[in-house]
């Protein structure tokens, strides 16, 4: 049975009315890796790249320019999972504030800092959470590697110790990289 001319006209009109919505559709963030019960997305990679330019870690493994960004984020997820909410890994009072101030001061203009927040859909409270998580991870690594201030003067040795440490930690938290065809 063939559709009536009126029904065909209505279907075409409905399709044309929906067309602008199709053109406006936003691309969903693609998951690139699953670590434990958390995901790493393409936007996480972009955020980390932008964030790392302005956040200086005292630990050499987290300052490596040649590091694989996805591996770094997977390691962060593993380390944060292992550190959990154990008191000894919590940053001391004022540490988050100090790191946030250093982050803000790394921008040449306040407007650039505000544009960063806007670009990543953050407010200062969410940025504080990211900094807090980073400090927990750094404390976990420093304590587990037994790092001293003197060790930090030998970054290559610290990086080597960190890599050996992570080789033992990575199997503790399941992780799976998704190829683009299977990622949602």
Average pLDDT along the chain, 184 residues, taken 10 residues at a time: 61 58 64 95 96 95 91 96 95 97 97 97 96 98 97 97 97 91 61
Domains and CATH numbers, the chain: 28-177 (1.10.4030.10)
d(CA 121, CA 144) in angstroms, rounded, equals 34
SS3 at position 34: strand
Comparing CA positions, the residue from 31, 29, 36, 120 lying closest to residue 75 is 36
Tell me how far apart the alpha carbons of residues 124 and 104 are, in angstroms, rounded to a whole number: 10
For Cα atoms 130, 134, 138, give the angle at the middle one, nearest 5 degrees. 170
Instruction: Give me the pLDDT at residue 52, please.
Output: 94
Cα Rg of the chain (Å, integer): 23
Structure tokens at 27: 């691309």
pLDDT of residue 65: 82
């Amino acid at each position: 049975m063939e559709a009536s001319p009126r029904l065909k006209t209505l279907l075409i009109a409905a399709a044309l009315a929906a067309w602008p919505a199709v053109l406006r559709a936003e691309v969903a963030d693609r998951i690139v890796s699953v670590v434990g019960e958390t995901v790493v997305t393409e936007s996480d990679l972009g955020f980390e790249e932008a964030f790392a330019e302005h956040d200086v870690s005292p630990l050499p493994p987290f300052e490596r320019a040649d590091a694989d960004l996805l591996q770094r984020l997977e390691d962060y997820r593993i380390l944060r999972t292992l550190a959990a909410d154990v008191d000894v890994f919590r940053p001391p009072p004022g540490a988050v504030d100090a790191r946030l101030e250093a982050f803000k001061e790394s921008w040449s203009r306040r407007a650039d800092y505000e544009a960063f927040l806007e670009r990543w859909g953050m407010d200062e409270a969410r940025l504080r959470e990211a900094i807090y998580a980073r400090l927990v991870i750094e404390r976990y690594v420093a304590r587990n590697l037994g790092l001293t201030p003197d060790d930090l003067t030998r970054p290559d040795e610290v990086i080597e110790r960190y890599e050996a440490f992570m080789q033992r930690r990575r199997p503790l938290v399941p992780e799976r990289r998704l190829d683009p065809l299977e990622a949602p």
